[in-house]
């Protein structure tokens, strides 16, 4: 899936000395996260019809090789200006045959019921996440926005999950509605497999509005940049200063609710992906480049939050 290279030359902005262990992969030019497209397009069954078959085919390739992605969501799908969808970020991927993996790294709102119960990883987790992703594309509403927090799986709130599914079925048409319904089966033994998703998409290609099934999407795992920006290498698996996934927010990002709604000194809650509880924080101000907010967590650590991730910040009940 990726090439691992040893780099013996100095890398700009990296303080440690070489050699570096680097991941080399395809550079996805003129692309942006699927989340940006969802914000811009709003409810779009047509967009779902275009990208879902490609994502499903990429996941099927992983599953046939004994891997589970475990982090399928709109930020980990890059969409090119020609409509090509590329699944990225294998940071949470695990082999099915390995022992149960800790789920502390998982994107909590998208956790499958069995993952939340600490059961061994399985391809069904990716199927569940794909079902949630379809609801987001078809309805134009993100799961985290629906539940208003990022520290609980959406299936903990059955009314909200039912609402998302009901809207997706109503707006997505027969095929997308059927996929959502069967992918979001809480009983993993009854959930549609990725083989079945690919088969459904292939047999219903005219209904989806595509001439034929899309070829497998390449897979990758790294910090990627959009819109032709210079790709940056991340040594030793850690991002250095200035290594952001998406350097330049779009006009849609800048217009997101909440992006301009904070002020220095305001008490807020920060919702990280990697923790089970939210963190108390104080707004320091805008980031140096004006692309997000800088927070000071209650531990004293400074945290930069890009505008595209501003939904992770919410006002604290103690703020005025």
Residue 319 burial class via C-beta count within 10 angstroms: exposed 0-12, middle 13-18, buried 19 and up: middle
When pLDDT is cut at 50, 70 and 90, the band that residue 317 belongs to is low
* Tens digits of residue pLDDT in 147-179: 998 889 999 999 999 999 999 999 998 899 999
Please check whether residues 157 and 295 belong to one and the same domain: no
Q: Answer whether residue 5 is part of any domain.
A: no
Residue after which a domain boundary falls, among 181, 202, 223: 202
In a domain, 288, yes or no: yes
50 in the same domain as 129:
yes
Q: Which of the 8 DSSP states describes residue 219?
A: B
Cα dihedral sign for 49, 194, 79, 116?
Answer: positive
Q: In the listed set 202, 224, 255, which residue is the last one of a domain according to the structure?
A: 202
Q: What's the pLDDT at 13?
A: 82
Q: Which range, of 46-50, 103-107, 252-256, averages the lowest pLDDT?
A: 252-256
8 lies in a domain? no
Q: Across residues 242-263, what is the average pLDDT?
A: 39
Pair (180, 71) in one structural domain: yes
Kindly state whether residue 55 falls inside one of the protein's structural domains. Answer: yes
Q: Is the CB of residue 304 less than 8 Å from the CB of residue 289?
A: no
Tell which of 147, 175, 202 closes a domain.
202
Q: Residue 214: what pLDDT?
A: 34
Q: Are residues 186 and 49 in the same domain?
A: yes
Whether 303 is covered by a domain: the verdict is yes
> What is the residue range of 73's domain?
31-202
Q: What is the pLDDT of residues 36-90, one digit of tens each?
A: 999 999 999 999 999 999 999 999 999 999 999 999 999 999 999 888 999 998 8
Establish if 110 belongs to a structural domain.
yes
Q: Is residue 87 part of a domain?
A: yes
Report residue 225 as tokens: 């940049």
For the chain, the straight-line distance linking the first and the last C-alpha, in angstroms and rounded, comes to 50
Question: What SS3 state is found at 243?
Answer: coil
pLDDT at residue 235 greater than cutoff 70 = no
For 162-200, the DSSP string reads HHHHHHHHHHHHHHHHHHHHHHT-SSGGGSPPHHHHHHH
Give the CATH number, domain containing residue 102.
Answer: 1.10.510.10
- For the whole prediction, is pTM greater than 0.85? no
**Stronger pLDDT, 187 or 258, i.e. the higher one:** 187
Number of domains in the chain: 2
For residue 255, what are its two tokens?
């217009």
Pairing of strands 279-286, 267-270: antiparallel
196 and 276 in a single domain? The answer is no
Instruction: Give whole-number Cα distances, 112 to 26, 35, 78, 237, in Å.
Output: 30, 20, 23, 26
What's the confidence (pLDDT) of residue 118? 84
Residue 224 in domain: no
């Amino acid at each position: 899936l990726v090439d691992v290279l040893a780099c013996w030359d100095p890398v700009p902005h990296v303080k440690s000395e070489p050699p570096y262990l680097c991941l080399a992969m395809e550079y996805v030019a003129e692309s942006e996260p699927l989340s940006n497209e969802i914000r811009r397009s709003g409810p779009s069954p047509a967009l779902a019809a275009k990208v879902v078959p490609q994502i499903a085919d990429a996941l099927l390739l992983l599953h046939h090789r004994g891997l589970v992605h475990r982090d399928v969501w709109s930020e980990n799908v890059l969409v090119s200006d020609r409509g090509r969808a590329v699944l990225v970020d294998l940071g949470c991927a695990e082999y099915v045959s390995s022992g149960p993996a800790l789920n502390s790294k998982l994107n909590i709102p998208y956790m499958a019921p069995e993952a939340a119960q600490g059961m061994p990883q399985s391809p069904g987790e990716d199927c569940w996440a794909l079902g949630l992703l379809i609801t987001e594309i078809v309805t134009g509403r993100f799961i985290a926005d629906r539940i208003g927090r990022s520290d609980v799986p959406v299936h903990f709130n059955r009314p909200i999950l039912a609402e998302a599914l009901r809207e997706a079925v109503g707006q997505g048409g027969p095929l997308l509605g059927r996929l959502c319904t069967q992918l979001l089966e809480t009983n993993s033994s009854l959930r549609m497999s990725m083989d079945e998703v690919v088969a459904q998409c292939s047999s219903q290609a005219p209904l989806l509005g595509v001439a034929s099934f899309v070829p497998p999407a390449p897979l990758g795992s790294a910090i990627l940049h959009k819109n032709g920006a210079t790709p940056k290498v991340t040594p030793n698996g850690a991002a250095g200063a200035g290594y952001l996934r998406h350097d330049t927010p779009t006009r849609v990002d800048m217009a997101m609710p909440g992006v301009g709604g904070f002020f220095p000194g305001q008490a807020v809650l920060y919702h990280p992906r990697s923790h089970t509880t939210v963190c108390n924080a104080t707004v320091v101000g805008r980031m140096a480049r004006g692309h997000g907010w800088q927070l000071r967590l209650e531990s004293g650590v400074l945290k930069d939050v890009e505008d595209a991730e501003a939904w992770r910040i919410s006002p604290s009940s103690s703020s005025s």
